């Protein structure tokens, strides 16, 4: 039964990924900036590195949410267990960082300052979402365990080594 729960959480996470990060990092930049939102001279492939790293970060953390937490990144279907493994041992919001890396990388690839500005706007919205919605919900759901986690792990800038166990 546990394995089924984890697999079902992976499916729900995949659907969420297409609907939310896929729209924020893929579809909306095309709508907001358009296909011509780049400098003359074509594409720059330097942005491939942050896009690839961002996608790996997102995939790893989304997997941890589904497999360990048995939930999804969606606020309406959050993990049932507090996820403090993997990248979550170094920073509390690595998934958002992964999405932002994808958007920044796209901006570099497209040579688009508009895309970089969009990334900063998205970062502001992520910060507001965390402060207003996510952290209060996590504190009420996980109590002291989440408060202790917050005291040991920074929110946005990763620490160099994980906290002692």
Instruction: Kindly list the distances between the CA atom of residue 99 and the CA atoms of 14, 50, 72, in Å, as whole numbers in the listed order.
Output: 15, 10, 15
Mean pLDDT of 98-127: 92
pLDDT of the residue at 131: 95
Which value, to the nearest 10 degrees, does the dihedral of the CA atoms of residues 19, 107, 41, 56 take? -70
pLDDT of the residue at 11: 78
Q: Is the pLDDT assigned to residue 142 strictly greater than 90? A: yes
Give the tens place of pLDDT for each residue, 11-20: 787 788 787 8
Confidence grade of residue 27 (pLDDT, cut at 50, 70, 90): confident
Confidence grade of residue 5 (pLDDT, cut at 50, 70, 90): confident
Q: What is the SS3 string spanning 74-122?
A: CCCCCCCCCCCCHHHHCCCCHHHHHHHHHHHHHHHHHCCHHHHHHHHHH
Q: 20-35: buried (b, 16+ CB within 10 Å) or exposed (e) per residue?
A: ebeebbeeebeeebee
pLDDT of the residue at 156: 93
Closest CA to 94 of 136, 46, 14, 155: 155
Q: How many helices (H) and strands (E) does the chain have?
A: 8, 0
Whole-structure pTM value: 0.88
Q: Is the pLDDT assigned to residue 1 strictly greater than 70? A: no
Q: Is the pLDDT assigned to residue 42 strictly greater than 70? A: no
pLDDT of the residue at 26: 85
Q: Which of 14-28, 31-45, 105-119, 151-165 has the lowest mean pLDDT?
A: 31-45
Q: How far apart are the first and last CA of the chain?
A: 29
Give the tens place of pLDDT for each residue, 45-60: 889 999 999 999 999 9
């Amino acid at each position: 039964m546990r394995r089924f729960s984890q697999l079902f959480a992976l499916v729900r996470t995949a659907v969420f990924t297409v609907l939310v990060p896929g729209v924020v990092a893929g579809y909306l930049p095309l709508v907001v900036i358009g296909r011509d939102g780049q400098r003359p001279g074509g594409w720059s492939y330097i942005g491939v590195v942050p896009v690839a790293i961002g996608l790996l970060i997102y995939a790893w953390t989304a997997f941890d949410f589904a497999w360990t937490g048995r939930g999804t990144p969606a606020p309406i279907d959050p993990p049932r267990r507090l996820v403090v493994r993997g990248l979550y041992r170094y920073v509390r919001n690595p998934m958002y960082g992964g999405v932002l890396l994808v958007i920044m990388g796209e901006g570099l690839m497209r040579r688009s300052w508009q895309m970089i500005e969009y990334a900063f706007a998205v970062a502001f919205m992520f910060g507001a979402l965390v402060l207003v919605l996510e952290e209060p919900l996590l504190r009420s759901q996980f109590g002291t365990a989440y408060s202790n986690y917050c005291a040991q792990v920074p929110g946005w800038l990763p620490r160099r080594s994980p906290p002692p166990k």
